Chains A and B, each alone.
Chain A
């Protein structure tokens, strides 16, 4: 029971991070290493607005997501768009961007550890296992986001355009779609998701300027395991790695620090059998 619940909670946190990352890669082939840095910026924004300025926490969260999304758009226009055709350059540029954001946060807030309030305080118990309402919220938000993304991609004109571009960029261009504008919109959605992740997961974390590094590695593992660019794959892989981490903590308590490495080993083992990731082939076929 403990393993099941911990796996679900950890998996949903990983899924929330991985879905946004996967979306922009799947659509625009942009590997945005700064994805978790945007999540960090959102968390610090909430800290600044709600703790330092004393604003209403929900208003702070709204401002934080908006601010992070706008920042993402500006970054896209200034940094990513001019070099978008060179995937390697985009990769390096986003690494630099993440480090830049880290240094800005470090200068503004120092390296001291900070915390933000839970959106919903308290916890409940199932089978002797305690769960924060905030963790339950994370799980709920993942499901809502997945539904919203499905609706956006499958039921709207914008979604149709995004899917067309993901399927064949040149044909989409010939059909009159503005490829750059669509990539920008997709990036905005992806960054907004990072912001929402900061809002939802931030209160469960200890804020520090390096908080983007650890989730980046495990998020990349999720995305690679699931199949690059596959949202469904990211979702499934997030829960596989979430359950792996839970198993390590519960079955090998003295090796709890190994939960990250073990998750990465699982990823490598799966890739040895299926180099394209769990849903890589299916995704390619869709394309």
Chain B
């Protein structure tokens, strides 16, 4: 009896050892896709991830060591644009209940902070595909041991967004000077959210250095439904450029009311709502001439991956992807190649491999940054040859690419270097600016 019991115990231990040593055996790779699923941002998180998973699974799955594993996506509605507590709970549920191996998504900075902390508590790799605040990746550099499992997927950090927006401002100011020959007066309008704080300070400091006059700064709520008072004050200030920093509903309110009032100024900067194809309808066509930073625009190719990606996405979802659909790139070009290279789902091994890579995605080339102490921050490198984003403008019902168009990133040292992506058209001024 004792011998039989001993034999059973040996077999049981052997089975346990097998199960531990072959974690990939018979399993799927569970990837949690977290985002505000009732909004376009969340739906694009899901769409991008679904397209990546389907493409990878159709090719047999991910090779983890000696076995092929299929990707299983877990959809998780964070409700983060309405309730940050919901977002934190959703992340906790995704890890403890759904037992995901990896996580992609997140949108609103205020919600991504607690999501990030929870993911780090459980040492789960989390690729952020929506929030821009610098601090998310600064944390990685400051406390690498704890935060190394966090990577930025998209967009590049706020300070780079501001830098790029300033280049867009310079491009627009050039057109205004050329066509109207007037001094540039800039009104800064930024929604009051954490991701805009750094940008506002940077832009306030930079605009006068460019020789432009900053006529004022307005900070409405991200959910403002009426900005007529702000618009009246802006028009009174004589601004001919309105530098917008919007990610919320106020982007629609502002564009529509400014268009209805025919405010004689060009809107440039970031207006996330204007990146969406529904913007034209949402503003009743009053969003014409709104210029915004964007990641993807119909007919514009940053590299050889952009065209096929856009084609597949448009065919499948009948709409242009917004930047949060870069969950596609996060899974297909970041996570999967690194998992296959290390042959394991071990988070530490994947992190070590992924952070050292330089790889192409449909929006450019990704290389992770290090801070001044040489510690990886897992932030995205900005600049020609890496990620630059696009400048696009609504022109008569179509969102068209307008930047970079003969952009000179370093005129002093490289006066011959001019960058233009395929498919760019000139910036247009609203006709009521010319009266």
Q: Which A residues are closer than 8 A to B by beta carbons? A: 2, 6, 9-10, 13, 106, 110-115, 117-118, 121-123, 128-132, 135, 204-206, 208-211, 214, 245-246, 249-250, 253-257, 260
Interface status of B177 (Cβ within 8 A of chain A): no
B38-A257 in contact (CB<8A): no
Tell me which residues across on chain B come within 8 A of A9, comparing CB atoms: 228
Write the nearest CB–CB distance from B175 to chain A, whole angstroms: 25
B249-A113 in contact (CB<8A): yes
Q: How large is the interface on B (under 10, 10 to 19, 20 to 34, 35 or more residues)?
A: 35 or more
Interface status of B407 (Cβ within 8 A of chain A): no
Tell me which residues across on chain B come within 8 A of A210, comparing CB atoms: 82
How long is the Cα–Cα vector from A246 to B231 in the complex, in angstroms? 12
Tell me which residues across on chain A come within 8 A of B191, comparing CB atoms: 257
- Asked if A257 meets B252 with Cβ closer than 8 Å, knowing A2-B232, A2-B233, A250-B229, the reply is no
Among A115, A129, A253: residue with most chain B CB under 10 A: A253
Write the nearest CB–CB distance from A150 to chain B, whole angstroms: 28
- Asked if A257 meets B220 with Cβ closer than 8 Å, knowing A113-B278, A130-B231, the reply is yes
How long is the Cα–Cα vector from A118 to B223 in the complex, in angstroms? 20
Tell me which residues across on chain B come within 8 A of A205, comparing CB atoms: 225-226
- Asked if A206 meets B38 with Cβ closer than 8 Å, knowing A10-B226, A257-B219, A257-B220, the reply is no
Q: CB-defined interface of B299-310 with A at 8 Å, one 1/0 digit per residue?
A: 000000000000
The listed residue (B260, B273, B282) touching A123 by CB distance below 8 A is: B260
- Asked if A6 meets B218 with Cβ closer than 8 Å, knowing A113-B252, A113-B282, A204-B225, the reply is no
How long is the Cα–Cα vector from A214 to B256 in the complex, in angstroms? 20
Q: Which B residues are closer than 8 A to A by beta carbons? A: 36, 38-40, 82, 191-192, 216-221, 223-226, 228-233, 235-236, 249, 252-253, 256, 260-261, 273, 278, 281-284
17 A-B residue pairs with CB within 8 Å: A2-B233, A112-B39, A113-B273, A130-B232, A204-B226, A205-B225, A206-B253, A210-B82, A211-B225, A249-B233, A250-B233, A253-B216, A253-B218, A253-B230, A255-B219, A256-B219, A256-B224
Tell me which residues across on chain A come within 8 A of B40, comparing CB atoms: 111-112
Question: Chain B's interface: helix, strand, loop or mixed, by majority?
Answer: mixed
How long is the Cα–Cα vector from A250 to B221 in the complex, in angstroms? 15
B230-A115 in contact (CB<8A): no
User: A115-B284, A206-B225, A256-B220 provided; 15 other pairs, C-beta below 8 A?
Assistant: A6-B228, A6-B229, A6-B232, A10-B229, A112-B40, A115-B252, A118-B260, A128-B236, A205-B226, A208-B249, A249-B218, A249-B233, A253-B217, A256-B218, A257-B192
B230-A256 in contact (CB<8A): yes
Please provide the 5 A-B residue pairs with the shortest distance between their CB atoms, ordered closest to farther.
A111-B38, A257-B192, A249-B229, A257-B221, A6-B229
Tell me which residues across on chain B come within 8 A of A254, comparing CB atoms: 217-219
A2-B236 in contact (CB<8A): yes
Tell me which residues across on chain B come within 8 A of A249, comparing CB atoms: 218, 229-230, 233
How long is the Cα–Cα vector from A256 to B253 in the complex, in angstroms? 15
Tell me which residues across on chain A come within 8 A of B220, comparing CB atoms: 256-257
How long is the Cα–Cα vector from A122 to B224 in the complex, in angstroms? 21
How long is the Cα–Cα vector from A257 to B221 in the complex, in angstroms? 4
How long is the Cα–Cα vector from A245 to B230 in the complex, in angstroms? 11
Number of A-B contacts (CB under 8 A): 102
A129-B232 in contact (CB<8A): yes
B233-A112 in contact (CB<8A): no
Among B223, B228, B256: residue with most chain A CB under 10 A: B228
Tell me which residues across on chain A come within 8 A of B233, comparing CB atoms: 2, 249-250, 253
Tell me which residues across on chain A come within 8 A of B232, comparing CB atoms: 2, 6, 128-130
Among B218, B232, B282: residue with most chain A CB under 10 A: B232
Tell me which residues across on chain A come within 8 A of B224, comparing CB atoms: 256-257
Write the nearest CB–CB distance from A199 to chain B, whole angstroms: 16
How long is the Cα–Cα vector from A13 to B283 in the complex, in angstroms? 21
How long is the Cα–Cα vector from A146 to B261 in the complex, in angstroms? 30
- Asked if A123 meets B216 with Cβ closer than 8 Å, knowing A6-B228, A129-B232, A249-B229, the reply is no
A206-B282 in contact (CB<8A): yes
A130-B38 in contact (CB<8A): no
A2-B229 in contact (CB<8A): yes
- Asked if A123 meets B226 with Cβ closer than 8 Å, knowing A111-B39, A113-B282, the reply is no
A111-B36 in contact (CB<8A): yes
Write the nearest CB–CB distance from B216 to chain A, whole angstroms: 6
Across the interface, name the chain A residue whose C-beta is closest to B193: A257
Tell me which residues across on chain A come within 8 A of B229, comparing CB atoms: 2, 6, 10, 245-246, 249-250, 256
How long is the Cα–Cα vector from A206 to B246 in the complex, in angstroms? 15
Write the nearest CB–CB distance from A99 to chain B, whole angstroms: 12
How long is the Cα–Cα vector from A150 to B226 in the complex, in angstroms? 30
A115-B228 in contact (CB<8A): no
Write the nearest CB–CB distance from A180 to chain B, whole angstroms: 37
Across the interface, name the chain A residue whose C-beta is closest to B79: A111
Across the interface, name the chain A residue whose C-beta is closest to B236: A128
Tell me which residues across on chain B come within 8 A of A209, comparing CB atoms: 38
Write the nearest CB–CB distance from B49 to chain A, whole angstroms: 19
How long is the Cα–Cα vector from A118 to B259 in the complex, in angstroms? 13
Write the nearest CB–CB distance from A210 to chain B, whole angstroms: 6
Write the nearest CB–CB distance from B278 to chain A, whole angstroms: 6
B219-A206 in contact (CB<8A): no
Tell me which residues across on chain B come within 8 A of A206, comparing CB atoms: 225, 249, 252-253, 256, 282
Tell me which residues across on chain A come within 8 A of B216, comparing CB atoms: 253
Write the nearest CB–CB distance from B83 to chain A, whole angstroms: 10
Across the interface, name the chain B residue whose C-beta is closest to A134: B260
